[in-house]
Amino acid sequence: MNSERIATVVSLLVSSTIVFFALTRTPSVQHELASNLWPTLGMTVVLFPFAFLPWFLSYSKAQVPGEQGPVWVFSILAVPICAGFYLPMSTSPTEGIGYAVIECLLAVWVAYAIARKLKAERGGSSGA
């Protein structure tokens, strides 16, 4: 496994850990996990592909020659983005937690798009 792939996996693990701890600190999520564990886990599994797709795409691009720059940019940007949303996710009222998660995911997707755009502007291909 090359260093770009390792960076992507580490970025995914650190980012998802930050989000996990932010969510599990809220009383409403703690209550949901205690009272409806399996439906809550099921919904989480359904949402994983959308949430983890930028990391999967970066991981798959890490082996392509000339794609290492965007992989590093995204891997480095994703962690502080998720860390920046820790407080909004962990302190939001019940109805605001979902919005904070969606905003975090959108920010991560924007970071992925920016990393890809930087590659395109430097003369490379703009494929996903």
Asked whether residue 37 is assigned to any structural domain, the reply reads: yes
How far is the C-alpha of 35 from the C-alpha of 106, rounded, in Å? 29
Asked whether residue 78 is assigned to any structural domain, the reply reads: yes
Q: What is the pLDDT of residues 2-14, one digit of tens each?
A: 899 999 999 999 9
Asked whether residue 99 is assigned to any structural domain, the reply reads: yes
Asked whether residue 127 is assigned to any structural domain, the reply reads: no
Asked whether residue 126 is assigned to any structural domain, the reply reads: no
Q: What is the pLDDT of residues 27-46, one digit of tens each?
A: 888 888 888 888 878 887 88
Domain hosting 16: range is 3-120
Q: What is the mean pLDDT of residues 75-88?
A: 96
pLDDT for residue 88: 93
The residues near 21 (Cβ < 8 Å, ≥ 6 apart) are: 86, 90
Asked whether residue 128 is assigned to any structural domain, the reply reads: no
Asked whether residue 125 is assigned to any structural domain, the reply reads: no
pLDDT tier for residue 98 given thresholds of 50, 70 and 90: confident
Instruction: Indicate the number of domains in the chain.
Output: 1
With 60 as the cut, is the pLDDT of residue 125 above it?
no
